[in-house]
């Protein structure tokens, strides 16, 4: 006869298992048997994670026995009879640290939502980028237009000599090189980074600036820069460029919206911890973020810009910095405005 408590555990919509310190299952609930598609008696006594293709899984559990804390949570992928799912595992040691209770919650829907939001934010950023390309193209395109118009006039007046053609042709070639260089630059940003790359931190900032310089200038925003870097970063460079784009764009939005006199954006980069940690600061003089919303600005869809904002920029930036790059993104109000700080580990 099952006790009332056992019935209760069996009725739970999460997986529950009791694990001994030799890493075998002592007991499991009904949900776990359903997830792995095996009977209870086929699981009890077996090694933890024997149904998992992921070799790290049992190591993960093993590590928990060595932890200082009695409690740990982690996200991992679980192979079930229906495929692979994202799980949140909650582990708690008990019985004088000799046993472990492991609870697994299927967070696949939440993860999918997260991915959708990131994709959406990418599209928005891409839209902004196309706007930037158009902006960068306007000048060289009109220059080429003017050169050809000039040539046509000369030709119609029969004043065109071979010498007259040489300089305009060279100019056109220079302008077209610039046009194609911008396209290449922009195209690279939207490739998803698959592998970590060793990059110079300054390069990342410069790429982000290349794409924002024009609109900063158009809004009369002064750019202050201060860098002292000696280390490289081992990171996802294109994703980080997007983070800096978001932070610079937000600062610009705030400066423009509040019609700040003598607006500026300051980008600082330096190293701490004996050069092992790289810090970037992006600050502005747009009077900062009201305290009552400061906690909420990293939430998805939180925006104060009505239909002009998506509320995804900071949310995506936080995921990129903290989840993908294992760093820290934080905000602070300073005397004159907001300061966003990105902290990343330098390359060992």
CA distances from 142 to 28, 134, 146 (A): 72, 12, 6
| CB of 255 closer than 8 Å to CB of 291 | no
| CB of 277 closer than 8 Å to CB of 326 | no
Residues 101-120 contacting ligand ADP, CB under 6 A: none
Number of Cβ within a 10 Å radius of residue 97: 12
| CB of 100 closer than 8 Å to CB of 18 | yes
Closest to ligand ADP by CB, 98 or 305: 305
With CA atoms as reference, report the closest residue to 124 among 277, 309, 266.
Answer: 309
Closest to ligand ADP by CB, 64 or 289: 289
> What is the chain's Cα-based Rg?
28
Q: With CB under 5 A as the rule, give the number of residues binding Mg ion.
A: 2
Q: Collapsing DSSP states into helix, strand and coil, what is residue 327?
A: coil
Q: How far is the CB of 128 from ligand ADP (least distance, A)?
A: 10
Selected range binding Mg ion among 27-35, 121-129, 264-272, 309-317, rule: CB under 5 A: 309-317
Q: How far is the CB of 154 from ligand ADP (least distance, A)?
A: 50
Closest to ligand ADP by CB, 106 or 253: 253
For ligand ADP, the binding residue among 19, 61, 338, 344 (CB under 6 A) is 338
Q: How far is the CB of 156 from ligand ADP (least distance, A)?
A: 51
For residue 282, which phi and psi values (nearest 5 degrees)?
Answer: -120, 115
Cα gap 278→341, rounded to integer Å: 10
Listed in sequence order, the DSSP H helices in 82-236 are 108-156, 162-189, 201-218
Partner that binds at residue 286, options Mg ion, ligand ADP, none, CB closer than 5 to 8 Å by kind: ligand ADP
Q: Which residue is nearest to ligand ADP (CB)?
A: 313
Sign of the alpha-carbon dihedral angle for 300, 306, 310, 311: negative
Closest to ligand ADP by CB, 229 or 315: 315
Number of Cβ within a 10 Å radius of residue 285: 23
Closest to ligand ADP by CB, 106 or 281: 281
Q: How far is the CB of 219 from ligand ADP (least distance, A)?
A: 14
Q: How far is the CB of 338 from ligand ADP (least distance, A)?
A: 4
Selected range binding Mg ion among 30-38, 60-68, 197-205, 249-257, rule: CB under 5 A: 249-257
Sign of the alpha-carbon dihedral angle for 44, 46, 51, 56: positive
For Mg ion, the binding residue among 49, 263, 269, 313 (CB under 5 A) is 313
Residues 257-316 contacting ligand ADP, CB under 6 A: 284, 286, 289, 297, 302-305, 309-315
Partner that binds at residue 106, options ligand ADP, Mg ion, none, CB closer than 5 to 8 Å by kind: none
For Mg ion, the binding residue among 15, 235, 238, 250 (CB under 5 A) is 250
- For the chain, the 3-state helix, strand and coil shares in percent, each to the nearest 5, are 45, 25, 30
Residues 21-40 contacting ligand ADP, CB under 6 A: none
Selected range binding Mg ion among 21-29, 148-156, 248-256, 268-276, rule: CB under 5 A: 248-256
Partner that binds at residue 78, options Mg ion, ligand ADP, none, CB closer than 5 to 8 Å by kind: none
Encoding tokens for residue 290? Answer: 């009201």
Listed in sequence order, the DSSP H helices in the chain are 4-11, 30-36, 40-43, 56-65, 108-156, 162-189, 201-218, 237-257, 291-294, 313-318
- Does 212 engage in binding with Mg ion (CB under 5 A)? no
Residues 234-253 contacting ligand ADP, CB under 6 A: 246, 250-251
Residues at the interface with ligand ADP (CB under 6 A): 246, 250-251, 254, 284, 286, 289, 297, 302-305, 309-315, 338
Residues at the interface with Mg ion (CB under 5 A): 250, 313
């Amino acid at each position: 006869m099952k006790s009332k408590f056992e019935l209760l555990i069996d009725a739970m919509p999460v997986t529950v298992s009791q694990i001994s310190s030799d890493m075998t299952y002592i007991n499991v609930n009904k949900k776990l048997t359903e997830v792995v598609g095996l009977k209870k008696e086929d699981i009890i006594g077996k090694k933890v994670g024997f149904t998992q293709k992921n070799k790290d899984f049992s190591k993960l559990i093993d590590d928990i026995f060595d932890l200082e804390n009695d409690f740990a949570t982690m996200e991992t992928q679980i192979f079930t009879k229906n495929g692979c799912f994202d799980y949140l595992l909650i582990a708690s040691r008990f019985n004088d640290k000799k046993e472990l209770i492991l609870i697994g919650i299927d967070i696949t829907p939440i993860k999918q939502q997260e991915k959708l939001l990131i994709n959406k934010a990418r599209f928005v950023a891409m839209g902004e980028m196309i706007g930037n390309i158009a902006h960068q193209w306007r000048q060289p395109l009109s220059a080429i237009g003017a050169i050809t118009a000039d040539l046509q006039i000369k030709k119609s007046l029969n004043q065109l000599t071979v010498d007259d053609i040489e300089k305009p042709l060279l100019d056109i070639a220079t302008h077209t090189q610039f046009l194609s260089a911008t396209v290449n630059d922009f195209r690279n940003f939207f490739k998803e980074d698959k592998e970590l790359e060793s990059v110079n931190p300054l390069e990342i900032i410069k790429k982000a600036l290349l794409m924002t310089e024009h609109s900063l200038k158009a809004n009369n925003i002064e750019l202050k820069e201060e860098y002292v870097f000696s280390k490289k970063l081992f990171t996802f460079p294109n994703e980080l460029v997007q983070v800096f784009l978001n932070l610079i764009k937000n600062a610009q939005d705030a400066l423009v919206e509040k019609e700040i006199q003598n607006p500026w954006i300051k980008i600082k980069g330096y190293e701490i911890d004996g050069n092992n940690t790289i810090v970037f600061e992006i600050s502005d003089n747009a009077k900062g973020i009201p305290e009552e919303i400061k906690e909420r600005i990293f939430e998805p869809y939180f925006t104060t810009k009505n239909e002009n904002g998506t509320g995804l920029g900071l949310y995506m930036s936080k995921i990129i910095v903290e989840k993908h790059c294992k760093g820290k993104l934080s905000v602070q109000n300073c005397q004159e405005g907001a300061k966003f700080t990105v902290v990343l580990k330098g390359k060992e």
